[in-house]
């Protein structure tokens, strides 16, 4: 069974993929680009560890924060676009949060 950090990493990858798909015309896509970049950097740091489960608490807290902000931005974009599928994803319970 995957550890809690690996579950978070998998979920974070899904958030990044959905943030990348936001229409460039959306104000939310522009706002989210910085958070998406920070989330990608956090993923990279954690994925370079021999065992991501040994990551420090600060790194996990940051990852959880960035996942939460990404979901918040996706929910706002989904409401603006009227996309119920994206809204369902963005409002689902998240790992560790």
Over range 1-12, report the average pLDDT: 84
90 closest CA partner among 21, 4, 2, 5: 21
Over range 45-61, report the average pLDDT: 93
At residue 1, the pLDDT reads 38
Q: What pTM value is reported for the model?
A: 0.88
At residue 81, the pLDDT reads 85
Tell me the backbone φ, ψ of residue 78, rounded to 5 degrees.
-65, -40
CA 40 → CA 30, 46, 48, 71, 88, distances in Å?
16, 10, 12, 14, 23
Per-residue pLDDT band at 9 (split at 50, 70, 90):
very high
pLDDT for residue 24 is more than 90:
no
């Amino acid at each position: 069974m995957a550890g809690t950090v690996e579950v978070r990493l998998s979920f974070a990858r899904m958030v990044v993929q959905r943030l990348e798909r936001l229409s460039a015309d959306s104000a939310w896509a522009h706002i989210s680009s910085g958070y998406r970049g920070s989330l990608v950097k956090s993923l990279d740091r954690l994925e370079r560890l021999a065992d991501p489960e040994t990551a420090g608490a600060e790194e996990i807290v940051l990852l959880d924060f960035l996942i939460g902000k990404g979901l918040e931005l996706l929910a706002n974009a989904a409401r603006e676009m009227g996309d119920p599928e994206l809204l369902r994803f963005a409002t689902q319970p998240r790992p560790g949060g």
